């Protein structure tokens, strides 16, 4: 590992974050749509994370899926110690953390259904990039799936120059965030599309905050890559591109769906199609799925596979053009009624059939729903996953966080909800968050908040936490 990279990790702690696009239930659904016949289910899988930091991405998975096995490696010994402490304190025996260098470590006697490397490829030198691909290929089970994250070009081009100027202009502020703020204000005063784009980049750096931006935009290595270059390197190491980790990742925001018709001539060359989408969208990050080059994919895979998944609405309300025909109207109504849960599609179709009564034609209805679900997932309207998640959006009488989230709250680290999303809080709210241990009623929590966080509307806040699966029944 480059000395500069080692130095920042020894001097500063990487922020504790989860990455929902690396959840094996999401990856499995996307890989099945990509032709992988039988991806491992999250309830019984082996997952390796390379560059796991303190385990904030792995630990919630280990807690949710006790029959699965999780291994995390990282070259920061302090981060690994932290992950081990969290696992021991919460009784998680199915997760292991190892202090290791990616250029040297190899699994001893097992391979993995999933290998995740979310935050490495763009933040290490070329020698370590090659070692990363070698480790991924050598760790995957024959039908395993890798999920590799990296910053992309050309979308990252201006961001790289913007970060370079932050380093070059210390006189504008007392620290990097001060410089970023001054540059954001200066760019925001411009009247051109370029100025607006630059201002948006600096505003995004401000939103990340000093802890993340020091490792990301201002990291000692920040090497954005062309999609085609990553796929070429992967091929040289016996890996094959499957698609992005979410179906919506294959059609990035910013590209008008109607404009996709203009790219129809690229239908036979999916790699050039994806690089063209990066150009048109300005996308700055990818989370790409790969498998072994020799894995046989199912050429007959169709949208019908979506009928075996669980689904939940991501966009409410949907665009009016998204809902068409009586079948989809009723299916959408069932999806809407189930929100915020992710419910099995088969059950949602039964509700749709009940609503339609004798007008329901099983064969026609199933095809209509499957085709719509696949399209809705690609446009980011619906999430598909292999694991169903049923939630009650009402707060329990004695609200409590899980033992793991109580541990995170004690350290002022972000919580992780049932959909694997990070959840942070203002500094004044943490005392109330820590009090969610099941020993107090909702009314007692409200009384505590009046003293510690008078700006907090506790009732709706607790319901919001319940709707994200953060509260256990109390």
Residue 418 lies in a domain: yes
Q: What is the CATH number of the domain that holds 28?
A: 3.40.50.150
pLDDT at position 7 is 62
Residue 315: which of 382, 262, 233 has the closest Cα?
Answer: 382
pLDDT at 260: 81
On whether both 271 and 131 belong to a single domain, the answer is yes
Q: Which of 455, 334, 471 is nearest to 394 (CA)?
A: 471
Question: Cα separation of 443 and 175, whole Å?
Answer: 43
pLDDT at 43: 97
Residues 276 and 208 in one domain: no
Burial class of 70 by CB neighbour count within 10 A (0 to 12, 13 to 18, 19+): buried
Mean pLDDT, the chain, integer: 92
Are 408 and 279 within one domain? no
Of 213, 235, 251, which residue sits at a domain end?
Answer: 213
- Residues 365 and 256 grouped into a single domain: no
Q: Which 3-state string (H, E, C) describes 330-365?
A: HHHHHHHHHCCCEEEHHHHHHHHHHHHHHHCCHHHH
Do 107 and 243 belong to one domain?
yes
Decide which of 219 and 369 is more confident: 369
Q: At what angle do helices 345-356 and 362-378 cross, to 10 degrees?
A: 130
Residue 248 falls within a domain, yes or no?
yes
Boundary (domain end) residue, out of 265, 292, 319: 292
Domain total in the chain: 4
**312, 382 Cβ separation under 8 angstroms:** yes
Do 250 and 364 fall within a single domain?
no
339 and 282 fall within a common domain: no
Report whether 75 contacts 1 (CB < 8 A).
yes
CA 178, CA 183: separation in Å to the nearest integer? 9
Question: CA–CA distance from 44 to each of 25, 47, 114 (Å)?
Answer: 11, 10, 11
How far apart are alpha carbons 120 and 288 in whole angstroms? 13
Which residue, among 61, 55, 51, 53, has the nearest Cα to 26 in the 3D structure? Answer: 61
- The answer to whether residues 193 and 172 belong to one domain is yes
Range of the domain at 167: 157-213
In a domain, 473, yes or no: no
Clarify whether residues 139 and 161 are in a common domain: no
As a whole number of angstroms, the distance between CA 373 and CA 344 comes to 12
Based on the fold, state whether residues 55 and 113 are members of the same structural domain.
Answer: yes
Do residues 333 and 365 share a domain?
A: yes
Q: CA of 259: how far to CAs of 163, 193, 251, 303, 382, in Å?
A: 32, 21, 11, 22, 21
Q: Are residues 123 and 102 in the same domain?
A: yes
Asked, for residue 180, whether it belongs to a domain, the answer is yes
Does residue 207 lie within any of the structural domains?
yes
Q: pTM for the full model?
A: 0.93
Give me the pLDDT at residue 440, please.
Answer: 93
Within a domain: residue 474?
A: no
Residue 3 has pLDDT above 70, yes or no: no
Tens of pLDDT, residue by residue over 381-438, are 999 999 999 998 888 889 999 999 999 999 999 999 999 999 999 999 999 999 999 9
In a domain, 270, yes or no: yes
- pLDDT at 286 > cutoff 60: yes
Q: How far apart are the first and last CA of the chain?
A: 47
Taking 90 as the threshold, does the pLDDT of residue 159 lie above it? yes
**Boundary residue ending a domain (251, 269, 292):** 292
To the nearest 5 percent, what fractions of the chain are helix, strand and coil? 50, 15, 35
**Closest-CA residue to 68 (of 95, 50, 37):** 95
Which of the 8 DSSP states describes residue 295?
A: P
Is residue 218, in this structure, part of any structural domain at all? no
Distance, in Å, from the CA atom of 107 to the CA atom of 114, rounded to the nearest integer, reads: 13
Who's near 26: CB < 8 A, 6+ residues apart?
20, 245, 246, 383, 384, 385
């Amino acid at each position: 590992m480059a000395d500069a990279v080692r130095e920042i990790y020894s001097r500063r702690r990487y922020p504790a974050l989860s990455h929902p696009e690396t959840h094996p239930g999401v990856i499995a659904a996307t890989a099945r749509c990509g032709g992988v016949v039988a991806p491992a289910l999250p309830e019984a899988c082996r997952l390796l994370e390379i560059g796991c930091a303190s385990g904030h991405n792995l630990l919630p998975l280990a807690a949710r899926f006790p029959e699965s096995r999780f291994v995390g490696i990282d070259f920061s010994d302090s981060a690994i110690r932290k992950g081990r402490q969290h696992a021991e304190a919460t009784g998680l025996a199915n997760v292991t953390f190892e202090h290791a260098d990616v250029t040297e470590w190899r699994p001893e006697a097992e391979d993995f259904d999933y290998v995740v490397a979310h935050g490495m490829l763009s933040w290490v030198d070329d020698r370590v990039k090659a070692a990363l691909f070698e480790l991924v290929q050598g760790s995957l089970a024959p039908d395993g799936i890798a999920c590799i994250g990296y910053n992309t070009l050309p979308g990252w081009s201006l961001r790289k120059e913007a970060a370079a100027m932050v380093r070059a202009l210390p006189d504008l502020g007392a620290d990097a965030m001060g410089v970023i703020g001054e540059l954001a204000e200066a760019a925001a005063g411009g009247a051109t599309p370029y100025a607006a784009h630059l201002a948006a980049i600096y505003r995004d750096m401000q939103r990340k905050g000093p802890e993340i931006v020091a490792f990301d935009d201002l990291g000692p290595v920040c090497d954005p890559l062309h999609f085609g270059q990553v796929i070429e390197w992967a091929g040289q190491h016996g890996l094959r591109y499957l698609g992005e980790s979410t179906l919506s990742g294959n059609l990035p925001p910013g590209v008008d769906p109607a404009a996709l018709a203009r790219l129809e001539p690229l239908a036979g060359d999916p790699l050039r199609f994806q690089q063209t989408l990066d150009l048109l969208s300005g996308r700055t990050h990818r989370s790409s799925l790969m498998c072994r080059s020799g894995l046989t994919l199912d050429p007959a895979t169709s949208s019908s596979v979506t009928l075996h998944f669980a689904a939940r609405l991501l966009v409410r309300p949907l665009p009016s053009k998204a809902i068409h025909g009586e079948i989809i109207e009723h299916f959408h109504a069932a999806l809407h009624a189930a929100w915020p849960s992710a419910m099995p599609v088969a059950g949602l179709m039964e509700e749709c059939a009940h609503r339609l009564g004798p007008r329901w034609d099983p064969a026609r209805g199933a095809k209509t729903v499957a085709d719509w679900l696949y399209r809705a997932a690609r446009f980011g309207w619906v999430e598909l996953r292999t694991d169903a998640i049923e939630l009650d959006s009402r707060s329990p009488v004695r609200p409590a966080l899980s033992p793991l989230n109580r541990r995170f709250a004690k350290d002022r680290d972000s919580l992780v909800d049932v959909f694997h999303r990070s959840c942070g809080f203002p500094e004044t709210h943490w005392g109330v968050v820590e009090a969610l241990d099941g020993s107090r009623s909702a009314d007692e929590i409200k009384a505590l908040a009046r003293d510690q966080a008078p700006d907090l509307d506790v009732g709706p806040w607790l319901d919001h936490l319940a709707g994200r699966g953060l509260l256990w029944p109390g």
